[in-house]
Amino acid sequence: MSLREDLLRELLRRRYMIEKYYENYLKHLESREYDKASEDLWGVVNNIASMLSLLLKGKPVGKHEELRKFVNELISLKGDVRLKEFLLACERLHANFFHNFMDEQQFEEHRMKAEELISILEKYIAEELQKYGITI
Task: Please name each of the domains of the chain with its CATH number.
Answer: 5-130 (1.20.120.330)
pLDDT tens-digit map of 7-22 = 999 999 999 999 999 9
pTM for this prediction: 0.94
pLDDT at residue 34, as a whole number:
98
pLDDT tens-digit map of 23-63 = 999 999 999 999 999 999 999 999 999 999 999 999 999 89
Per the prediction, the chain carries an average pLDDT of 97
Residue 122: phi, psi to the nearest 5?
-60, -40
How close are the terminal C-alpha atoms of the chain, in Å? 17
Are the CB atoms for 111 and 93 separated by under 8 Å?
yes
